[in-house]
């Protein structure tokens, strides 16, 4: 049995208590589980294996909840390489938002929440306002509290007098969005296990700038598969964008490294094989 939430985990635990049916408990998020015994028990004793998305989550469980490292398996999310591939054409995005074909597009693709770092993305745009023919795309839907947040972001844009920042709202055509951008920025400030959009950008051969938090440094290797920057640092974002735009050969090298990395480690077939191996072991 695969369980993904506390509720279905406890139901599965009691339903299989006197059987030999193993439970595999998934933990996708990086928020720590309280160390009190009644919160840790279901992870320590209530499953055969704990499956996590990155090594940082694994280390968190080992340190905070005293879980045996052998019980924790790292299974990253897979990428559909047919859906996310470098040959997709998204030029209609430029037409939709009146962006010239020769303009540079920098994008932040994430739900609009404070911890996604939109404020720093806009501040970075202000640092680069003297660079000609550059547009900043904010791609992502709203949460219940986002309307206030969006107004704050728009106030910041107006304060800087920026005319080159575009809010797209929620989009289903993320592969086409990624295909038409030149750089992806993920300036998260907190609670980021992997950042799936990073891997999607890798698969579509787009350079990535991301903050060194959570599990991101496991995938974005600085100056090898992308550029790592400290969180809460808009100037670092601007400098990283400048570096990519001013160093095409190094950028191409990072893009190819990232593409090879994601193809080797994140195909659906690779991840399914890892899960099947764990399932077979759990049944022994």
CATH number (domain holding residue 250): 3.40.50.2000
Per-residue model confidence (pLDDT) at position 178? 98
Structural domain count of the chain: 2
- pLDDT score recorded for residue 146: 52
Per-residue confidence at 23, pLDDT binned at 50, 70, 90? Answer: very high
Both tokens of 233, joined, read 């640092």
Mean pLDDT of 107-120: 93
Which of helix, strand or coil describes residue 106?
Answer: strand
Q: 44, 54, 49: which is closest to 22 by C-alpha?
A: 49
224 and 198, same structural domain? yes
Q: Are residues 20 and 116 in the same domain?
A: no
| Mean of pLDDT values over 227-250 | 97
Question: For residues 26 and 75, what is the distance between their CA atoms, to the nearest angstrom?
Answer: 9
* Structural domain contains residue 221: yes
Highest mean pLDDT out of 11-15, 63-67, 148-152, 203-207: 203-207
When computed from its CA atoms, the radius of gyration of the chain, rounded to whole angstroms, is 21
Using one digit for the tens of pLDDT, what is the confidence trace for 27-37?
988 788 888 87
Claim to verify: residue 126 and residue 247 sit in the same structural domain = yes
C-alpha of 56 from chain center: 14
Can you tell me the distance from the alpha carbon of 239 to that of 220, in angstroms, rounded to the nearest whole number?
17
* Cα-based angle 88, 226, 258 (whole degrees, multiple of 5): 55
Cα–Cα distance measured from residue 132 to residue 164, given in angstroms and rounded to the nearest whole number: 10
Let me know whether 261 and 275 are in one domain. Answer: no
Q: Give yes or no: residues 244 and 277 share one domain.
A: no
Judgement on whether residues 97 and 214 belong to the same structural domain of the protein: yes
Helix 6-15 and helix 37-44, axial crossing angle in degrees, nearest 10: 60
- Token pair in block for residue 113: 């929440």
Mean per-residue pLDDT over the chain, rounded: 93
End-to-end Cα, the chain, rounded Å: 15
Average pLDDT over residues 265-278: 94
Angle (CA) 7 9 14, round 5°: 100
Which pLDDT score is estimated for 25? 94
For residue 61, pLDDT over 80 is answered with: yes
Q: Are 117 and 231 in the same domain? A: yes
Range 206-229 average pLDDT = 95
State yes or no: pLDDT of 255 exceeds 60.
yes
Q: Which of 55-59, 160-164, 225-229 has the lowest mean pLDDT?
A: 55-59
Whole-Å CA distances, 26 to 49, 51, 54 = 9, 5, 12
Tokens 């296990």 correspond to 193
Q: Is 85 part of a structural domain of the chain?
A: no
Same domain, 173 and 276: no
* Same-domain pairing of 259 and 162: yes
- 102: domain range? 91-265
Say if residue 275 is in the same domain as residue 222. Answer: no
> 59 and 194 share a domain?
no
> Lowest mean pLDDT: which of 115-124, 148-157, 188-197, 269-278?
188-197
Q: Are residues 271 and 247 in the same domain?
A: no
- pLDDT category at 268 given cuts 50, 70, 90 is very high
Q: Is the pLDDT of residue 39 over 90?
A: no
What residues contact 74, with CB distance under 8 A and at least 6 apart? 51, 52, 53, 54, 55, 58
Asked if residue 147 has pLDDT above 80, the reply is: no
């Amino acid at each position: 049995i695969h369980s993904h939430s506390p509720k279905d985990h406890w139901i599965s635990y009691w339903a299989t208590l006197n059987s030999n049916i193993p439970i595999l408990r998934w933990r996708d998020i990086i928020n720590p589980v309280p160390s009190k015994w009644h919160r840790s028990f279901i992870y320590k004793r209530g499953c055969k294996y704990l499956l996590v998305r990155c090594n940082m989550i694994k280390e968190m469980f080992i340190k905070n909840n005293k879980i045996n490292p052998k019980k924790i398996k790292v299974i990253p999310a897979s990428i559909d390489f047919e859906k996310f591939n470098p040959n997709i054409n998204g030029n209609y995005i430029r037409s939709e938002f009146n962006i010239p074909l020769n303009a540079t597009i920098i994008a932040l693709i994430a739900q609009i929440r404070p911890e996604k770092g939109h404020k720093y993305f806009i501040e970075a745009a202000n640092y680069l306002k003297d660079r000609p023919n550059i547009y900043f795309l904010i791609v992502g839907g709203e949460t219940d509290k986002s309307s206030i947040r969006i107004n704050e972001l728009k106030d910041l844009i107006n304060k800087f007098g920026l005319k080159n920042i575009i809010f797209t709202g929620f989009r289903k055509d993320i592969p086409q969005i990624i295909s038409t951008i030149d750089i992806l920025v993920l300036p998260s400030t907190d609670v980021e296990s992997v950042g799936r959009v990073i891997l999607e950008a890798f698969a579509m051969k787009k350079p990535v700038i991301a903050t060194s938090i959570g599990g991101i440094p496991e995938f974005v290797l600085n100056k090898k598969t992308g550029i790592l920057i400290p969180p809460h640092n808009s100037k670092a974002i601007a400098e990283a964008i400048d570096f990519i735009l001013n160093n095409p050969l190094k950028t191409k090298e990072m893009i190819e490294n990232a593409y090879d990395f994601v193809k080797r480690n994140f195909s659906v077939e690779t991840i399914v094989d890892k899960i099947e191996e764990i399932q077979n072991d759990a049944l022994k």
